[in-house]
Amino acid sequence: MTGIFINGISGKMGTNLLERSNSHDNIINCTNLNDDLLDTIIDFSHPDSTLKLLESISDTNTSIIIGTTGFDLEQIEQIKEFSKNKKILLAFNLSKGMSVIKKSVQDFVELNTKSLNCFIEDTHHAQKVDSPSGTAIELKNIIELNDKEDLISNIEIISKRSGNIYGIHKVIFLSDSEKIEFRHEAISRNIFSDGALEASHWIKNQKEGLYNFEDFLKS
């Protein structure tokens, strides 16, 4: 059994997470941070709220999954500093399917032998604050890190915000002879909630450090 506390429970992701947790027999919902049964905090809030939370639990053994996005570079460095004494899983996307896409993009870039242009599209609901998405930025970083021969130029991120779209990400590579496209669409928030709930059992048993969702999937 794993006891969780949802930070950001009044938001759309927090509400969905609470609903999904009720269908997991091995999850206990804790109502406060001092609950003796609490193992893992799942955070879907705002960067400032996340950092305040990390400060408040810095002297505890509680692990945390951060699904919040929109951090700047300084805030990411603060999270890294907290992880020296805290078990933290930082994931901008908690979908297993997106993890497969990221690995596929990495494999393609490593195998590529010709000059390409690249476009990354991220489309989300109109209420999403950060633009581009954390996932789009992560995809761009994966391409740049693994493009050892500098064959991929003009990596452009195109962000769209409209309607009630949960999340669509496309990575498009273009040459003079072909178009290669990787695409992932979330049709429900359930995939993010289920990913967080499954990872909550894992992160509590790790040693202090900063982890990502792929670390959990590889375990």
Question: Which residue numbers are catalytic?
Answer: 124, 128
Three state DSSP letters for the chain: CEEEEEECCCCHHHHHHHHHHCCCCCEEECCCCCCCCEEEEEECCCHHHHHHHHHHCCCCCCEEEECCCCCCHHHHHHHHHHCCCCEEEECCCCCHHHHHHHHHHHHHHHHCCCCEEEEEEEEECCCCCCCCCHHHHHHHHHHHHHCCCCCEEEEEEEEEECCCCCEEEEEEEECCCCEEEEEEEECCCHHHHHHHHHHHHHHCCCCCEEECHHHHHHC
Distance CA 92, CA 82 (A): 18
